[in-house]
A and B are shown apart, each in its own frame.
Chain A
Amino acid sequence: QLVESGGGLVKPGGSLRLSCAASGFTFSDYYISWIRQSPGRGLEWISYISGASTTYFYADSVKGRFTISRDNAENSLYLQMSSLRAEDTAVYYCARGAPRYMDVWGRGTTVTVSS
């Protein structure tokens, strides 16, 4: 399973680091994605990273502001978010699988960007 944490309320321009803890599978064998969902933008894939951290991609909407990383020894995935904007307000999910379908999802963590 996957369990996200680290969400909260942050002011515009601020930073936040999300975490995703994995269990029940060999974490290092899988690409993992971050996907977010907001009422206005639906489901939006924002980033993924390969098992060995050698490959990663970002959506244009977050490129240059968000950084994905992982620690396979800790079975953990991270998303460092900076220069946050109101439109980054969403539920953030980590999900196993990319660049294909995602077969295991966490329950999500909520990020609210507001002054």
Chain B
Amino acid sequence: EIVMTQSPATLSVSPGESATLSCRASQSVGSNLAWYQQKPGQAPRLLIYGASTRATGIPARFSGSGSGTEFTLTISTLQSEDSAVYYCQQYNNWPPLTFGGGTKVEIK
């Protein structure tokens, strides 16, 4: 099973600044990585797939990069509505599909 590790656990950022979230896989997953955003009381929402392709309707301020074992989600020009928990998920080696433990983004 591929273990996904996200860091940091919590990130506090001022509005208008950028947030950089990291996700590491225990072995290579190629570009088969997705990012999700989850707000309290809501289901996860797909942001990025294929490591860098934005899902339909996702603003351009969300960008993904990386391949192999190291991945990054960058949220530029942070807005208050971006306060959420962000999860990465690999779909290269399955079953099982595996998720990271999440990074909570707080707005200062």
Binds B, one of A7-15, A20-28, A74-82, A95-103: A95-103
Residues of A within 8 A of B99 (CB): 42-45
A59 to B36, CA, bound (A): 21
**B79 in the interface (beta carbon within 8 A):** no
Smallest CB separation, B96 vs chain A (Å): 5
Residues of B within 8 A of A108 (CB): 43
Q: How many residues of A contact B (CB 8 A)?
A: 22
Residues of B within 8 A of A106 (CB): 43
Instruction: Contacts A33-B97, A59-B96, A99-B94 given; indicate if A105 touches B102 (C-beta within 8 A).
Output: no
Contact between chains at A99 and B91 (CB < 8 Å): yes
**A93 in the interface (beta carbon within 8 A):** yes
Contact between chains at B95 and A58 (CB < 8 Å): yes
Chain B 90-108 per-residue mask, 1 if CB under 8 angstroms from chain A, else 0? 0100111111111000000
A93 to B98, CA, bound (A): 15
A68 to B19, CA, bound (A): 39
Using a CB–CB distance below 8 Å, which chain B residues touch chain A?
32, 34, 42-46, 49, 55, 87, 89, 91, 94-102
Closest 10 CB pairs of A and B: A101-B34, A105-B43, A43-B99, A45-B97, A57-B95, A101-B49, A99-B94, A100-B91, A103-B46, A59-B96
